[in-house]
Structure 1
Amino acid sequence: MFKMHTLLCAIFLILQLSPPMPVISSPSGARHYKSIFSFGDSLADTGNGPVIFERFSIFNRVTRPPYGSTFFGRPSGRDCDDRIIIDFIAENLGLPYVPATQVHNGSFHQGANFAVAAATTLDADFYHGRDIPGAPSMFPLNTSLGVQLEWFESMKPYLCRTGRECKEFFGSSLFFVGEFGVNDYHFSFQKKTVQEVRSFVPDIVATISMAIERLITKHAARSLVVPGVIPSGCSPPILTKFADGSPAAYDSKTGCLKAYNELGMHHNSLLQAELAKLQAKYRNVKIIYADYFGPVMDMVESPHKFG
């Protein structure tokens, strides 16, 4: 797992050095953000996972070195030994690192992070009803996107009091919604084929879309970043678990498992189409699709470019 998250650390650095994230559509003029609110899984978690896992006596290796050794000098609760993308975004906006809600006991007026490692998009009941235990110790936690939104809504009265005050406050905030989807798929692979899991994609994308619309209509969000999924077929956990695949299952150029990457591309395609619909519907809102798939594939296909 550390190898996987070392890979993710590299992804974050590549994203930091790459051109700006593509904007589907945005109002004219730059916007100054006063706070960041983040939802997601391990790619965005800044410390919630270890605290929540501990309550259920679940071992979490990110609480031990070498996690955190490169930048923080100690385990920081991140599934990485350096910073993650949300840290770089905060730095670029001149804001403090987005505090994990389960750890921080101060003010959240400059942002809050609700992301939890291993979080799924869909609620645990969806998987229990389909005989997908996935990681049995994880699903009882039910830290899904819907649950994280409920945490945010519980915090809202402490951030603003009137409708006008909330509109102004959240209108000047950046909402980071994801990455969501990878854990839904990876857990499902325990008992389902890639073709079977593909049928879950519309539900997952629809849930992400509903969460975005909820943030826009109920909470006056005006700027949202929505990442796609990474190419799972290139990830060490998937390559290890399905190492007995036939030669035809692998991309001859990259060594990645083709079917799992095609699932990710399908997810990202549906997600971008849904975001385009939302952008057309809410023209005064800035919706940014963040491409995680492309930078990883670039690193896999041309590793010499990155040292």
Structure 2
Amino acid sequence: MATEMCKLPCAVLLFLLVAKLGWTWALIPSSSSVGLAVRRYDSIFSFGDSFADTGNNPVVFAANSIFNPVTRPPYGSTFFGRPTGRNSDGRLIIDFIAQRLGLPLVPPSLAHNGNFRRGANFAVGGSTALDAAFFHDGSGPGSKFPLNTSLGVQLQWFESLKPSLCRNTQECEAFFSRSLFLVGEFGVNDYHFSLPTKSLHEITSFVPDVIGTISMAIERLIKHGATSFVVPGTAPSGCMPQIISHYGKDDPAEYNSTTGCLEGINKLGMHHNLLLQEALEKLRGRHPDAMIVYADFFAPIMDMVESPRKYGFEEDVLSICCGGPGTLFCGDEGAQVCQKPAARLSWDGVHLTEAAYRYIADGWLGSIDSSAGEKMHQLVR
């Protein structure tokens, strides 16, 4: 019998193994060179901030639209032709991932009237990993931001939705094992909200708390039956035009001489990403059956900043496409809009253009390809 099995083509062996395990896989085209088999997911569940928010923001900020320019043109103009609540001119990374995996765009959980059997997006612009109370000292009225849409709150929304998706433990584990979970990006708002009142040294001291919160969220989702995760690191916010404008220093040594980015803030992001990767490696050790992919947000953006022509971007890569002059935000009356968003990296000074998100999504999909293929090889061995 063993001899007969060895004569079978490897593809047949993989098919038999997959069928036995009850998994479904499909070959998904990818721009990466990996070219491995990628698991076909039935749904996507997403947690995060404005980098992933597909329309929850307008609901959360409904009482005061002045703080929510994404409800006004020219947001969404490149792909959707109208504002959708996305912080970009078009699609986000999560949109490209859904389309590449053959799934519908992930609906915002707070703004969707249909069912969520194909997935739900709990991300809200301005969300933090740490609970909102961490950022308010209670000494006065202070700022109302961040709102209470932290990672913990988003997990509660997910758990409230769960009974409409599955009825018992066995059914839920089967359902969520066929789902892809995106946990992040988280961290950038935790740090940005702290910049006005804390030094970089003070902010660095609570990075482990942010990482610990992300780790605990993944553990919590695993208990619900989730087995496939994409966990993005944080972006190089020292290269964000609005951050440079607000927190730029007179000392030239504060800037990278090649890119013009703020070195200290980018080092904070690199520290976050290092600790996150270490935490994810520990999670893989505790949960060997789970696929936990680290999605690099930092390196691809830095590559675009350092080599804009390679991506078809204009040389002045730190300039924004929409916004200004002065304190005008994109979407405000009188705000300027560039003619070719596809030639820009930054859309509104904090968020990226659809073109930039597409390049990043290609890299993340390659990572999913690679991790799924490696998981299959482990099973075959």
Q: CA deviation at 1:59?
A: 2.6
Change in Cα spacing, 1:159 to 1:267, as seen in structure 2 (3 Å) is same
Task: Return the match for 1:145 from 144, 151, 154.
Answer: 151
Q: In the aligned structure 2, how far is the partner of 1:73 from the partner of 1:243?
A: 35
Sort the Cα spacing of 1:58 and 1:244 in 2 relative to 1 into closer, same or farther, 3 A: same
Higher relative contact order (CA 8 A, sep 6+): 1
Match of 1:286 in 2: 291
Match of 1:115 in 2: 123
Decide which of 57, 63, 77 is 1:49's aligned counterpart: 57
Contact 2:248 2:262 in 1 (8 A): no
- Listed as ranges, the gaps of 5+ residues in structure 1 are 1-15, 22-27
In structure 2, how many angstroms separate the alpha carbons of the residues matched to 1:133 and 1:299?
A: 41
Q: Distance in 1 between the 2:30 and 2:201 partners?
A: 35
**CA distance in 2: counterparts of 1:20 and 1:213, whole angstroms:** 31
Alignment check: 8 A CA contact 2:52 2:123 kept? yes
Among the aligned pairs, what percent are the same residue?
61
Runs of 4+ in structure 1 off by over 6 angstroms are 130-134
> Deviation of residue 30 (structure 1)?
3.8
Out of 173, 178, 181, the residue aligned to residue 172 of structure 1 is 178
Q: Is the 8 A contact 2:135 2:193 kept in 1?
A: no
Q: Secondary structure at the match of 2:309?
A: helix
Contact between 1:229 and 1:264, CA under 8 Å: does it hold in 2?
Answer: yes
Counterparts of 1:253 and 1:160 in 2: how far apart (Å)? 53
Scaled by the length of structure 2, the TM-score of the pair is 0.71
Aligned-partner Cα distance in 2 for 1:200–1:107: 38
The correspondence for 2:232, drawn from 227, 236, 246, is: 227
Q: Structure 1 residues 57 and 63 mapped into 2: Cα distance closer, same or farther (>3 Å)?
A: closer
Q: In 2, distance between residues paired with 1:63 and 1:213?
A: 35
Distance 1:264 1:97 in 2: 29
The amino acid of 2:193's aligned partner reads F
Q: Cα 1:20–1:53, aligned 2, differ >3 Å: closer, same or farther?
A: farther
Structure 1 contact 119–145 (Cα < 8 Å) conserved: yes
Structure 2 match to 1:79 = 87
The C-alpha deviation readout for 1:85-111, integer Å capped at 9, x for no partner, is 000010011110000011110010000
Task: Work out the CA distance in 2 between the residues paired with 1:132 and 1:194.
Answer: 24
Equivalent position to 1:246, from 240, 243, 251: 251
Letter of the aligned partner of 1:240 in structure 2?
Answer: S
The CA distance in 2 between the partners of 1:60 and 1:277, in whole Å, is: 38
SS at match of 2:292: strand
Helix, strand or coil for the counterpart of 1:271? helix
Q: Tell me: CA distance 1:131–1:171, structure 2 relative to 1, closer, same or farther (3 Å).
A: farther
Deviations 1:217-247 (A, max 9, x none): 2x11000000000001111121001223310
SS at match of 2:79: coil
> Taking structure 1 as reference, are residues 17 and 75 closer, same or farther at Cα in structure 2, changes over 3 Å only?
farther
Partner of 2:166: 160
In structure 2, what is the Cα distance between the partners aligned to 1:64 and 1:20?
Answer: 39
Q: Please say which structure displays the higher CA radius of gyration.
A: 2
- Counterpart of 2:189 in structure 1 is 183
Q: Tell me the distance in 1 between the aligned counterparts of 2:108 and 2:145.
A: 19
Q: Which amino acid aligns with 1:66?
A: P
Equivalence map 1:33-112=2 (5 Å)? 33-55=41-63, 59-112=67-120
Cα distance change, pair 57–254 in 1 and its aligned pair in 2 (3 A): closer
Q: C-alpha displacement at 1:195, in angstroms?
A: 1.1
Alignment size in residue pairs? 283
In structure 1, C-alpha distance between the alignment counterparts of 2:103 and 2:53, rounded to whole Å: 17
Contact kept, 8 Å, 1:65 with 1:75, in 2: the verdict is yes
| Matched letter for residue 302 of structure 1 | S
